[in-house]
Amino acid sequence: MLEQDQKLVQDAQQDPANFAALYDKYFDQIYRYVYRRVSDKETVHDLVSQTFFDALSHIKSFEWRGYPFSSWLYKIAHNNVLKWYREQSKGHNVGLDEIGELADLSVDQVRDASRKEKQLEVQKVIDQLDHEEREIIRLKFFEEVSNIEIAEIMGLSANHIGVKVYRTLKKVKQLLKS
Amino acid sequence: MARPAGRYFASVITKIRDAKKKELIVIDDGFKMQLRQQLMVKIAATSQPQKTSWLEKLAPFKAYLGVVPALAFVIIAVVGISKLPLQFKSDVVVPVGPSSQQNASPKAVVQDQGSPSQDNAANSSSIITFPGRFVIPQGKNSDAAANLVGENQPSSLAMTVSDAPADTSVQKSGVPQDSSQKQQTPLQVQSSDSSDSIGNLNVPQQILQYFTYQPVTQPAPVSQYSETAQDGASADAGSSASVTLAPSVEGSAPLNSADPSVTGSMPSVTALKTPADVSKESSTALMNTENSAGAAADQPLKAATVVQKSEVYTPQRTAKTAPKTVTSATYSLNEMAQLPPKQVDLDVYYNGSFSGDERTVLEQSIVPHLVEGKDVDYVSVYQKDAATVVIELQYADGKTAVYDYKVDQTGTLQLVQQ
């Protein structure tokens, strides 16, 4: 898996035309990741497009560290989503945690009716978590990314991510009980 | 602490994964294909200019761009240095030896300018040859030239009697002298035949006469030359002054005889000889100078001690081995002045205390004959030691000819080595 990723990345670095293979492999993952963060279809398209264009522009500067290439794409997408939320909250001095709240609020606002109907109890609990906890739960259990990759994406240490996963699950369990 | 994947969180994790499965996210394939095309267009758009951009082609050489100014600076510096009047040239002989007058020896210093005489090689021990020296170009004044010639040179050409080293010690009669000592002792031969040339040089002997020198502490005025030269007896009567240079070895007395009469006097008549002559005659012809040097040790030589002699003298013991009699003539400065001087448009640089008369003699009598028929750029005259004057001809083609002239106690220049 990693070797295949490395080969694709090397090919893309030598010839950008080979970037299409990486695009085909990781488009669905990135699209779902962004869609879970931003329900607005046009915004999702914009953010996904921006993510892949950024990846193409910086593919030559990518350094292989032994992580899957998807981690790098998740990180770009994560930063683009945060940037989009900052632009949405322009004029308001909000922190990252508040951005997470705004994001969830935005998600709630644009979520279509059918999806609201199918919204499960778990989703409600997740929405009650703070921004960082939601991001960890989504990456860990929805994107199925390892703690090391989450640490790479969020710029934290792997041990710190492990502790946060534990605390978040404990918090979700308490919320589910209540 | 419970593990996230353990039983404690199993129910929570199960619920989260069930929620993921029930999640409905429809991927817009149309958008996917459209975005793919956009990426390909961008890839094509960005890769095309890369092939034609000359800046991109020069990117690998960006590191060398910084070298260009440095290289230009170096070139300018080299060109500037090359235009300086000082140049290094090879085949240069620089004397290394006694730096003071007390240690200076009137040995015939031999430079490696091509002397076939093996005896002369014995005297080359005080010479170190190294490839490089300053060459004084035209246009530099004599002061600059003086600074550029070897630092070990004595500051004055003047020599006192006390400077006479042990090398010139007297050999008692009948005692043979080794070749090195023979060379170190100038042969005194008198002759009226002044037409002989020295070696293969075009320098007549008469122009090599009487290079008078003065003591450092007693520079002689120019007029002193004419006065003493006109009055030949003044030299003989020099005992009344501070110096006595009596011609006590004149006449038929053999050179190798230890004549007590020479005690306290210096030979006033000297002869010129070539290195070949030195090798031929020095085996037998010796001059007693020890006593005279010792007696006159406290008396500096008086300038312009000139005696006009024209007797022919043949050493007794050299008649068999050296059938050719070396002749020479001694002229006073007045006579030298009467010689047809040659005016040569040539720069002569001096390093040392050369008086005006000495320079006149050099420039009008010696140097013109040395440079006659040769393409010489300039001439450097300097003192190798207290008793050796070196005339160096710098040819236009860069070559150098060095003539060593030994100044004996009477102030006569003898060509020692070419």
| Structure tokens, A128 | 């009650």
Closest CA to A119 of B20, B28, B11: B20
Residue-level pLDDT at B35:
92
Query: For the residues B24-30, what does the mean pLDDT come to?
Result: 85
Q: Is the pLDDT of residue B354 over 60?
A: yes
Any B CB within 8 A of A52 CB: yes
- What is the tens place of the pLDDT at every residue in B201-210? 444 444 444 4
Confidence of residue B373 (pLDDT cuts 50, 70, 90): confident
* Per-residue pLDDT at B48: 66
Choose from A71-80, A118-127, B11-20, B202-211 the range with maximum mean pLDDT: A71-80
Residue with the larger pLDDT of the pair B373 and B338: B373
Which chain B residues are Cβ-neighbours of A137 within 8 angstroms?
Answer: 16
**pLDDT number for residue B19:** 82
pLDDT level of residue B3 (50, 70, 90 thresholds) = low
**Cα pseudo-dihedral A17, A21, A24, A25, rounded to 10:** -150
Between CA B290 and CA B184 the distance in angstroms is 13
Closest residue to A137, CB basis, from B16, B23, B27: B16
Q: Give the tens place of pLDDT for each residue, A34-83.
A: 988 887 888 999 999 999 999 998 888 888 888 888 889 999 999 998 88
Stretch A120-141: mean pLDDT:
84
Higher pLDDT, B168 or B405: B405
Q: Does B29 touch chain A (CB under 8 A)?
A: no
Q: What is the pLDDT of residue A144?
A: 86
Helix (H) / strand (E) element for B193: namely none
Q: Residue B217: is its pLDDT beyond 90? A: no
Summarize the confidence of residues B184-195 as an average pLDDT.
Answer: 41
- Comparing B357 with B300, the larger pLDDT belongs to B357
pLDDT at A52: 93
What is the arithmetic mean of pLDDT over B187-213? 44
In a mutational test of the B interface, the residue from A36, A144, A166, A177 whose CB has the highest number of chain B CBs within 10 Å is A166
Q: Are A166 and B2 in contact (CB < 8 Å)? A: yes
pLDDT at residue B79 in the model:
92
Give the pLDDT confidence of B131-157 residue by residue, as tens digits. Answer: 444 444 444 444 444 444 444 444 444
Q: What is the mean pLDDT of residues B153-168?
A: 41
In this prediction, residue B159 carries a pLDDT of 40
Query: Which of A35, A56, A120 lies closest to B43 in CB terms?
Result: A56
Q: How far apart are CA A71 and CA A154, in angstroms?
A: 10
Q: Closest Cα of chain B to A96: distance in Å? A: 24
Q: Tell me if chain A has a CB within 8 Å of the CB of B6.
A: no
Q: Do B23 and A142 touch (CB under 8 A)?
A: yes
Q: What is the value of pTM for the model shown? A: 0.37
Please name the member of B1, B17, B43 whose beta carbon is closest to the beta carbon of A166. B1
- Is the CB of B4 inside 8 Å of chain A's CB atoms? yes
**Percentage with pLDDT > 70 across chain A:** 82
pLDDT for B82 beyond 80: yes
Residue type, B371: V
Give me the total of CB pairs closer than 8 Å, taking one residue from chain A and one from chain B: 85
- Would you place residue B49 in the very low, low, confident or very high pLDDT band (cuts 50, 70, 90)? low
| pLDDT value, residue B297 | 42
Whether residue B221 has pLDDT greater than 80: no
Question: Measuring CA to CA, how many Å separate B202 from each of B18, B73, B362, B367, B399?
Answer: 121, 50, 15, 11, 19
The ipTM value here is 0.77
Instruction: Give dist(CA B164, CA B301) in Å, integer.
Output: 11
| Under 8 Å between Cβ of B188 and B269 | yes
A27 pLDDT tier (thresholds 50, 70, 90) = very high
Distances (CA, A) of B192 to A127, B177, B329: 134, 28, 6
Nearest to B388 by CA among B181, B104, B171, B18: B104
Q: Where does the pLDDT of residue B77 fall: very low under 50, low under 70, confident under 90, or very high at 90 and above?
A: very high
Query: How far is A92 from chain B, CA to nearest CA, in Å?
Result: 31
